[in-house]
Chain A
Amino acid sequence: MTTEPTAVIHDIGYRHYDGVQLGRGRGTLALGVQSLRGVFGLGRTVRAKIMPLLLAAIMLMPTVVSIGVMALAKQFVMPYPNYAVFMQAVIAVFLAAQSPYLVAPDLRFRVLPLYLSRPLTVTDYVLAKLTALAVAVFGLLAVPLTIEFVGELLVDLPGPPHTADYLGALGGAVLHAVLLSSVGIALASFTPRRGLGVASVIAFYMFTAAVSGIFAGVLISSGRDDVAGWALLLNPFFLVDYVQSALFGTEPVNTEMAPPGIASCLILLAVVVLAVTGVLLRYRKAAS
């Protein structure tokens, strides 16, 4: 505190804004970027950062181990295309923890009317939220894969690098991002309560994983190996694994009983369309 004022604040009254007003595309982009930052806890409280950053760190652990093994034992241990299936529980927890954050507060605290009273449509809003979560999930998978690939190149194992596998896994990461984000947002947007949203997403994953596992197990033990693959499609991670195999030629985790590739692709597409339509209908209703 100075005793002699060196500056004086003048009340210059209200000033009109005569700068640029960008289109709704930029508004949507700003919403998407803000949402994406929020998914990883950036710009939020310390408590909100713990969970996503912890999960992101866990996702990197197999990569670190894999690079270590490659460097010391000169052995390639973890194929890229199987990475997502291997880490599915962690990804599911991330999805359950973060997708309600994106949609529930706006519903619960009724912020949605403020968005819609601006040049932003329901579709823009949903698109921004879906894209933010999809980019987050993609990053969660692509960053460890890329680090491992860089590690493989640096270690320079005997034989050619697994470039095709790496690229296929990246394609699979895109598929995971699209499927998981649309399912996650669809489930989370049906309740304005965040806790309930978390529970419903994790319950969905555990239910589908358990049911597909049980069905596949029963079918295999009764000698119906040919249809066991269909049961596995219930699990979103195995579904993407099969689609990835069909589209990019990677080796699926469950090789012996793969259903036709085209069927997996159609089911994936149908689930995504269904989920996105559900979200849009939900928000059309919430908006009016």
Chain B
Amino acid sequence: MTASATPCFATEGLTKRFPRVTALDDLTVAAGTGVTGLVGANGAGKSTLIKILLGLLPPTSGRASVLGLDTATQGLEIRRVVGYMPEHDCLPPDISATEFVVHMAQMSGLPRTAARERAADTLRHVGLDEERYRPMGGYSTGMRQRVKLAQALVHDPRLVFLDEPTNGLDPQGRDDMLALIRRVGTEFGISVLVTSHLLGELERVCDHVIVIDGGRLLRSSAIREFTRAEQTIAVEVEEGQQRLAERLTAGGETVAAQGRLLTVQVSADDPGRTYDAVRDAVCDLGLSLLRLEQRRGRIEDVFKEPVA
């Protein structure tokens, strides 16, 4: 792909003040290729940042660049090579997904035949089959989100901005959308900036996470660093939770009970030991194992840490 030396986007002292509110406050951050998560509560300035990066909103002060292009002067060039999936609904109900995505591809400068091919390809990749010929007014939220994603990808951008793509989806739809985003970032080779106010879901798909709050940068680092600190496994058994906890504690593990779950701290120097201990203990005590899953440190913890 492209040179990894140019960051996907970078900002320098970026500030945006609206008459009533400061959306971004001296934000300096950069992200490389791959999937980058932008996390913040509602109103943290995520959508404002995306609008500035698209070159649609001039910042009050500071600079920003996307793929090495200046947002203040090269907005048109930026918008040729990026895709944007807005947070809000943006689909006219009386036309079909195919027509809509073809039209949007043409707006990106694709000739009509190429637009048709790309639209069919992209809709297939996001998982829309026969229903793509039906008017979009009858679509479920999951299908609508897929069309919105397809229109952002149809011109094969180098970078896509996805604003709250999992909004309004049920747990299954959420998982599907996250898997799709992961595919876009890896298999499709398109860099992704994805925003969410739910921190937990981003850690599953992102390589890098940026956390902003009130327009300020809280933290920006690779996902490994977020989750390295604390590795735990969660164990749930049908009966005998108490016995299992005692047995593991006796074996030198750090165990805590959380309702019906036992969380076991994974030994930092010898992770295998902890897994073996849990397996052996469950086996020896003859317990029915209901759940055994890896738990990484949650990005939520970032908010609990004092800001450096």
Chain A residues proximal to chain B, CB less than 8 Å: 13-17, 19-24, 26-27, 30-31, 34, 43-45, 105-106, 109-111, 113-121, 287-288
Contacts and interface: CB of A to CB of B under 8 A. Distances in A.
B247 interface: no
B54 A117 contact: yes
19 contacts: A14-B187, A17-B114, A17-B155, A20-B114, A21-B110, A21-B155, A34-B106, A109-B91, A109-B93, A113-B86, A114-B84, A117-B54, A117-B83, A117-B86, A118-B79, A118-B80, A118-B104, A119-B76, A288-B56
A101 B94 CA distance: 12
Given A24-B76, A118-B79, A113 B90 contact: yes
A110 B89 contact: yes
Interface string B102-113: 011011111110
Contact of A110 (B80, B88, B183): B88
Interface string B61-101: 00000000000000011011011101011111110000100
A114 B104 contact: yes
Most buried by B among A26, A31, A43, A119: A119
B300 interface: no
Given A111-B92, A113-B90, 19 more contacts: A14-B187, A14-B188, A16-B156, A17-B114, A19-B111, A20-B110, A21-B155, A23-B109, A27-B108, A30-B106, A31-B107, A110-B86, A113-B88, A114-B86, A114-B90, A118-B104, A118-B107, A118-B155, A119-B108
Interface string B174-209: 000000000100011100000000000000000000
Most buried by A among B92, B93, B109, B189: B109
A2 B222 CA distance: 52
B94 A27 contact: no
Contact of B125 (A14, A44, A109): A14
Contact of A119 (B80, B86, B93, B94): B80
A26 B155 CA distance: 15
Contacts of B92: 105-106, 109, 111
A43 B104 CA distance: 16
A84 to B, nearest CB: 32
A288 B55 CA distance: 11
Nearest to A15: B121
A21 B189 contact: no
A19 B80 contact: no
Contacts of A106: 92
A110 B86 CA distance: 10
A287 B56 CA distance: 8
Contacts of A116: 56
B151 interface: yes
A15 B112 CA distance: 18
Most buried by A among B86, B93, B106, B189: B106
B90 A111 contact: yes
B57 interface: yes
Contact of B94 (A14, A24, A45, A121): A45
B76 A110 contact: no
Most buried by A among B86, B88, B108: B108
B118 interface: yes
A77 B198 CA distance: 74
Nearest to B94: A45
A17 B156 contact: yes
Nearest to A47: B94
A31 B109 CA distance: 11
A113 B163 CA distance: 13
A113 B151 CA distance: 12
B279 to A, nearest CB: 37
B90 A110 contact: yes
Nearest to B78: A119
A118 B86 contact: no
Contacts of B54: 117
